[in-house]
Structure 1
Amino acid sequence: MTDHPDRPGDDDPGLAAADSLRLIREQQDRARAALGPDGRALYGVWGVAWLAGYLVLWSSVQGREQPEAWAFWVFAGAIAAAVVFTMVHTLSRTAGTRGVSARTGAMYGWSWMLGFLTFGVFLGGLARTGADTEVMALASNGGACLVVGLIYLGGATAFGERNLFVLGAWILLVAGAATLVGLPGTYLVMALAGGGGFLVMAAVEHPRVVRARRRAAAEVGRG
């Protein structure tokens, strides 16, 4: 048989580089599935927290100037639980890794606490200026969206997650829309568009995570 110099062979540098990149991507997917934070859990927890918390605020404000005190406590508890879950889940899923991956996961997890801690101080300062209840309500809801949306955009950059970037951008849009609607409709927008957005993304994330974990399990079985 005669050789074909124009046909790339097995030792072609271009093919070798392409195969190497493909293997690296596959290994990254398997590592993310096995060690990375589970997007389904994170999106689901925040979706439930926002949907339930804001619906409680919206339902308790009907016929009143502002929600009842107990509704704020329910909402605050739901958000606090979501923040704690996010930190614990992210830190625990990256605890067994070393180097850049561990640092990235740890910094992402702590960003939630620092973001909402600073936001709470900001609201306290705003209250001291004599801001009325409507301004405080709009600032607290819109600001919460800003914190979550920006952290998600940062997380998308750190983890290379397109879905996370899309969700972060959506949450920022919800922040603007909810503020423009005004009270009490802002609570309903936050519940349905904000919480609903999280739950939709959890559903979108599910098949991707399942596929990645099946590939990882199959690889382990072959090994």
Structure 2
Amino acid sequence: MTSTPDRPGDDVAPLAAADSLRLIREQQDRARAALEPDGRALYGAWGVAWLAGYLVLWASARAHGEPEPWAFWVFAGAIAAAVVFTMVHTISRTAGTRGVSARTGAMYGWSWMLGFLTFSVFLGGLARAGADGEVMALASNGGACLVVGLLYLGGATAFGDRSLFVLGAWILLVAGAATLVGLPGTYLVMALAGGGGFVVMAGVEHLRILRRRRRTDDGGGRA
């Protein structure tokens, strides 16, 4: 019994199917990336805000014994800008989703505003209770880190992001260390360890995305 030779078109269908699967997988990855918050943008925004804001506070405190009022305004503006950016970015990125994903993104975005609004009221209560300047400074710095760290831990749970959990834990550790150092060293620790941690995580996230794209391209080439 003689076997019939393979015809030229016998392997066309498997190749076409493999290419189709690869294209579908790439489109799904792009769609998922477009509907999830970009860690690089969020980490970068907070890294710049903390580096700039806390370095201004530290420089002003070294020069005048304690930060000047304008330095606090610069810091508050930097943090407010980072909060607004986080809310807008998270809500806009998840606006195209429906159901649980949409609700999760919206609730996480609004949690930032609610967290810092409540924290501002908390600081006002401390001031009315007669807390002195150093106590207020330490409480405002440590409390802000506490809010950010816990929100990142919550975001890690909501989005299943391990790097977000690591950063949240790091920010909480920085909060404790900076409070123990005391003024004005607190501001420098927050700027370098806190802001620097955000910048490092932005770089790590960028490298992770590049590796993911490279694996996808390599898999497409082998297909």
Relative to the length of structure 1, the TM-score reads: 0.82
Partner residue in 1 for 2:178: 178
Task: Kindly indicate whether residue 129 of structure 2 is the aligned counterpart of residue 126 of structure 1.
Answer: no
Going from structure 1 to structure 2, the CA distance change for 1:26 and 1:143 (only over 3 Å counts) comes to farther
Instruction: Give the distance between the partners of 1:60 and 1:71, measured in 2 at CA.
Output: 7
State which drifts further: 32-41 or 113-122.
32-41
Partner residue in 2 for 1:36: 36
Instruction: Give the distance between the partners of 2:217 and 2:115, measured in 1 at CA.
Output: 36
Partner residue in 1 for 2:102: 102
Verify the 8 A CA contact 2:26 2:216 in the aligned structure 1.
no
For 1:97, the aligned partner's letter is T
Gaps of 5+ in 1: 1-24
Instruction: Give the distance between the partners of 2:107 and 2:218, measured in 1 at CA.
Output: 31
- The alpha carbon displacement at 1:201 in A equals 0.2
For 1:180, the aligned partner's letter is L
From the CA coordinates, give the structure whose radius of gyration is larger. 2
Instruction: Give the distance between the partners of 1:114 and 1:213, measured in 2 at CA.
Output: 36
Instruction: Give the distance between the partners of 2:26 and 2:100, measured in 1 at CA.
Output: 18
For 1:104, the aligned partner's letter is T
Q: Secondary structure at the match of 1:62?
A: helix
Instruction: Give the distance between the partners of 2:215 and 2:97, measured in 1 at CA.
Output: 20
Instruction: Give the distance between the partners of 1:90 and 1:124, measured in 2 at CA.
Output: 29
Going from structure 1 to structure 2, the CA distance change for 1:87 and 1:181 (only over 3 Å counts) comes to same
Q: Secondary structure at the match of 1:179?
A: helix
User: Aligned runs of 1:137-176 on 2, under 5 Å?
Assistant: 137-176=137-176
Q: Secondary structure at the match of 1:168?
A: helix
Partner residue in 2 for 1:48: 48
Going from structure 1 to structure 2, the CA distance change for 1:41 and 1:176 (only over 3 Å counts) comes to same
Superposed CA offset, 1:90-115 (max 9, x none): 11101111011111111110010000
Q: Across the two proteins, how many residue pairs are aligned to each other? A: 196
Percent of residue pairs identical: 86
Q: Secondary structure at the match of 1:135?
A: helix
Q: Secondary structure at the match of 1:61?
A: helix
